[in-house]
């Protein structure tokens, strides 16, 4: 744990992000189940700052609403017009009232890969070196568009940050860039922001100018080079959005694999940041695990499966399945080709087999729904078997009704359970039954038309047809044999 808890973290999120070409503000675009600003706020929270302020401007009500819903306790400062990153930080300090005593960390809202560890390392270096400002820099293969870190040729000390648009050809060749993340002394930051001018190519107040202002006033300034430049990737367009998604996914899967999860093909598996695993879980190719999904030990998920907010119990098998807000018990079997909708709970060793859809259904331990069925609004006991091609008829056109089936029942194939209806423990139903009335425990329910065979009908009504000839040949053949 770091002893250098910052007084405040300021997240800059007022820009529109025009290069996204989107009706959604840039910082609300999502990767791995979290908005861009959400990733930054989550990393910032790891620093346990006294104050966490997000500067909002463009689409502020939408951004503020998002923060209130998902990141309660985050303060917002309004920047009416986007007059630059320095101006944005000034608005944040105004929101806080007095300039904060201690360290102020500034982060851009569009750098979702930045980790809490990196922010903490920056705050630690800043404190250890006794700097007035420490910038997080990175060596990148292509520095186009970024602010360049200019160092003194003789001493190697950082002298200034020059924006791409304001840089000379010589400065543009520099590959060490400003990540947009800084640690400042709060009081000195407030003073220096008052001196930032707008005589640059964009006519904006650049936060980056604070560094040279403080240095010229005789304060210590420093740069801390990020270990992995990919972490500071700023998202400006959808190509970078996809790139960040890929990098984050790789990071999440590596973490899972190092913790004991088998991921057969990491290139085709996608996980959200909120997904959790137990060691010896196995994830097969083409699988997406979203939201609060949890996969327990020895469970095998995939291939080609999408689980959202779903819990998979130990040793369960989930194959070619889509599930949302479902619970799969230990040792249960789902799919191939099953669809589990919200409110589905499969008990231990239960089965939802091929082409089975379930919704709002509680299936007891060892109960099987193996083939081609719809189970909606139902409670089924333990060790019951539901015959193939059965439908729980739960909707009368206006309201949904519930079906209850007991334990150790055997229902026939092609049954319709017209809800509300209850079938007692140990009962059987005949194939093809439409069950509209309750079935007592231990009874056999038969609810279908009686079969009637009309002898010789084909020969009389379809004389000379292929069917008639086949029937004729068949009866002669059987006559010869007998
Ligand atoms: C900024 C830095 C640049 C750095 C780069 C890293 C400055 C002047 N430039 O450039 O040195 O290499 O980030 O990604 O700081 N924002 C506001 N209000 C404003 C302007 C911006 O809140 O008035 C926010 C944006 O929403 C965004 C962040 O600040 O989250 C950065 O702004 P952006 O326009 O993307 O800056 P860059 O040109 O990328
Ligand atoms: Ca940017």
Residue 377 phi, psi dihedral angles, 5° rounding: 50, 65
State whether the beta carbon of 58 lies less than 6 angstroms from ligand 1. Answer: no
State whether the beta carbon of 233 lies less than 6 angstroms from ligand 1. Answer: no
Q: Give the distance, in angstroms, between the CA of residue 180 and the centroid of all CA atoms in the same chain.
A: 26
Could you identify the atom of ligand 1 that is nearest to the CA of residue 163?
Answer: 11
Which residue among 51, 70, 164, 371 is the active-site one? 371
| Spatial separation of the C-alpha atoms in residues 430 and 416, rounded to whole Å | 11
In 322-389, where does DSSP find H-type helix? none
Q: Of 355, 303, 344, 311, nearest to 330 (Cα)?
A: 311
In order, the DSSP letters of 14-67 are ----GGG--SS-GGG-EETTEEHHHHHHHHHHTT--SEEEEEEBTBHHHHHHHH
Contact 139, 175 (CB under 8 A): yes
Classify 279 as helix, strand or coil.
coil
Beta-carbon neighbours within 5 Å of ion ligand 2:
234
State whether the beta carbon of 106 lies less than 6 angstroms from ligand 1. Answer: no
Ligand 1, pocket-test mutation among 9, 11, 13, 15, most atoms within 8 A of CB: 15
Residue 318 phi, psi dihedral angles, 5° rounding: -125, 110
Cα 124 to ligand 1 centre (Å): 24
Residue 150 phi, psi dihedral angles, 5° rounding: -100, 125
Looking at the CA of 232, which ligand is closest?
1
Contact 133, 188 (CB under 8 A): yes
Looking at the CA of 59, which ligand is closest?
1
| Spatial separation of the C-alpha atoms in residues 448 and 458, rounded to whole Å | 25
pLDDT at position 475:
84
pLDDT tens digits for 266-317? 999 999 999 999 999 999 999 999 999 999 999 999 999 999 999 999 999 9
For all residues of the chain together, what is the average pLDDT? 96
| Spatial separation of the C-alpha atoms in residues 4 and 267, rounded to whole Å | 38
E strand map for 351-420: 351-363, 368-380, 385-386, 391-393, 403-405, 410-411, 416-418
User: Is the CA virtual torsion 273, 274, 280, 281 positive or negative?
Assistant: negative
Structure tokens at 6: 């910052």
The yes-or-no answer on residue 87 being catalytic is no
Cα 131 to ligand 2 centre (Å): 25
State whether the beta carbon of 148 lies less than 6 angstroms from ligand 1. Answer: no
Could you identify the atom of ligand 1 that is nearest to the CA of residue 12?
Answer: 22
How many Cα neighbours within 13 Å face the side chain of 462?
11
| Spatial separation of the C-alpha atoms in residues 159 and 268, rounded to whole Å | 45
Contact 430, 423 (CB under 8 A): no
Cα 127 to ligand 1 centre (Å): 25
State whether the beta carbon of 149 lies less than 6 angstroms from ligand 1. Answer: no
Contact 111, 19 (CB under 8 A): no
Contact 161, 208 (CB under 8 A): yes
Q: Give the distance, in angstroms, between the CA of residue 220 and the centroid of all CA atoms in the same chain.
A: 42
Structure tokens at 204: 């904006």
Cα 184 to ligand 1 centre (Å): 17
Cα 436 to ligand 1 centre (Å): 66
Could you identify the atom of ligand 1 that is nearest to the CA of residue 109?
Answer: 30
pLDDT tens digits for 364-405? 999 999 999 999 999 999 999 999 999 999 999 999 999 999
> Which residues pair with residue 52 across a beta bridge?
9
State whether the beta carbon of 180 lies less than 6 angstroms from ligand 1. Answer: yes
> pTM of the entire structure?
0.92
Which residue has its alpha carbon closest to ligand 1 atom 33? 15
- Please count the other Cβ atoms lying within 10 Å of the Cβ belonging to residue 205: 20
Query: Per residue of the chain (482 residues), what is the pLDDT tens digit?
Result: 445 789 999 999 999 899 999 999 999 999 999 999 999 999 999 999 999 999 999 999 999 999 999 999 999 999 999 999 999 999 999 999 988 999 999 999 999 999 999 999 999 999 999 999 999 999 999 999 999 999 999 999 999 999 999 999 999 999 999 999 999 999 999 999 999 999 999 999 999 999 999 999 999 999 999 999 999 999 999 999 999 999 999 999 999 999 999 999 999 999 999 999 999 999 999 999 999 999 999 999 999 999 999 999 999 999 999 999 999 999 999 999 999 999 999 999 999 999 999 999 999 999 999 999 999 999 999 999 999 999 999 999 999 999 999 999 999 999 999 999 999 999 999 999 999 999 999 999 999 999 999 999 999 999 999 999 999 998 886 544 44
Looking at the CA of 13, which ligand is closest?
1
E strand map for 276-390: 276-277, 282-283, 287-290, 294-295, 300-301, 305-308, 311-312, 317-318, 321-324, 326-328, 333-334, 338-340, 344-346, 351-363, 368-380, 385-386
State whether the beta carbon of 206 lies less than 6 angstroms from ligand 1. Answer: yes
Cα 57 to ligand 1 centre (Å): 13
Contact 315, 331 (CB under 8 A): yes
Which residue has its alpha carbon closest to ligand 1 atom 28? 108
């Amino acid at each position: 744990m770091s002893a250098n808890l910052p007084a405040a973290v300021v997240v800059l999120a007022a820009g529109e992000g025009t290069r996204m070409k989107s009706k959604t503000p840039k910082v609300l675009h999502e990767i791995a189940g979290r908005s861009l600003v959400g990733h930054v706020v989550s990393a910032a929270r790891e620093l346990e700052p006294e104050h966490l302020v997000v500067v909002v401007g463009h689409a502020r009500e939408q951004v503020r609403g998002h923060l209130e819903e998902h990141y309660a306790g985050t303060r917002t400062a309004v920047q009416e017009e986007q007059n630059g990153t320095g101006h944005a930080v000034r608005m944040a300090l105004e929101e806080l009232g007095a300039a904060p005593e201690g360290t102020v960390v500034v982060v851009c809202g569009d750098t979702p890969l930045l980790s809490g560890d990196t922010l903490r390392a920056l705050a630690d270096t800043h404190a250890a070196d006794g700097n007035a400002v420490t910038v997080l820099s990175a060596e990148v293969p292509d520095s186009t568009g970024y602010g360049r870190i200019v160092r003194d040729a003789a001493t190697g000390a950082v002298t200034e940050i020059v924006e791409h648009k304001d840089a000379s050809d010589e400065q543009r060749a520099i590959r060490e860039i400003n990540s947009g993340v800084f640690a400042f002394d709060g009081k000195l930051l407030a003073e220096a922001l008052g001196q930032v001018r707008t005589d640059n190519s964009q006519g904006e107040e650049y936060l980056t100018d604070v560094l040279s202002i403080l240095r010229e006033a005789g304060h210590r300034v420093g740069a801390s080079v990020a270990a992995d430049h990919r972490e500071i990737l700023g998202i400006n367009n959808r190509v970078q959005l996809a790139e960040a998604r890929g990098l984050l996914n790789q990071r999440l899967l590596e973490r899972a694999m190092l913790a004991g999860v088998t991921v057969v093909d990491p290139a085709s598996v996608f996980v959200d940041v909120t997904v959790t695993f137990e060691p010896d879980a196995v994830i097969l190719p083409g699988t997406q695990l979203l939201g609060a999904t949890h996969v327990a030990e020895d469970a095998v998920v995939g291939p080609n499966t999408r689980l959202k907010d779903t819990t998979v119990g130990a040793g369960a098998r989930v194959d070619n399945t889509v599930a949302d807000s479902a619970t799969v018990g230990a040792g249960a079997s789902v799919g191939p080709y099953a669809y589990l909708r919200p409110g589905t709970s499969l008990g231990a060793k239960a089965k939802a087999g091929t082409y089975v859809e379930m919704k709002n259904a509680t299936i007891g331990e060892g109960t099987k729904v193996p083939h081609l069925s719809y189970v909606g609004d139902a409670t089924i006991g333990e060790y019951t078997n539901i015959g193939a091609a059965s439908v729980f008829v739960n909707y009368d056109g206006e309201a949904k009704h519930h079906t209850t089936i007991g334990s150790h029942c055997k229902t026939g194939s092609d049954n319709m359970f017209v809800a509300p209806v209850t079938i007692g423990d140990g009962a059987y139903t005949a194939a093809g039954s439409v069950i509209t009335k309750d079935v007592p425990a231990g009874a056999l329910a038969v609810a279908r038309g009686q079969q009637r065979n009309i002898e010789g009908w084909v020969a009389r009504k379809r004389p000379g047809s292929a069917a008639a000839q086949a029937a004729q040949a068949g009866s002669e053949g059987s006559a010869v044999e007998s």
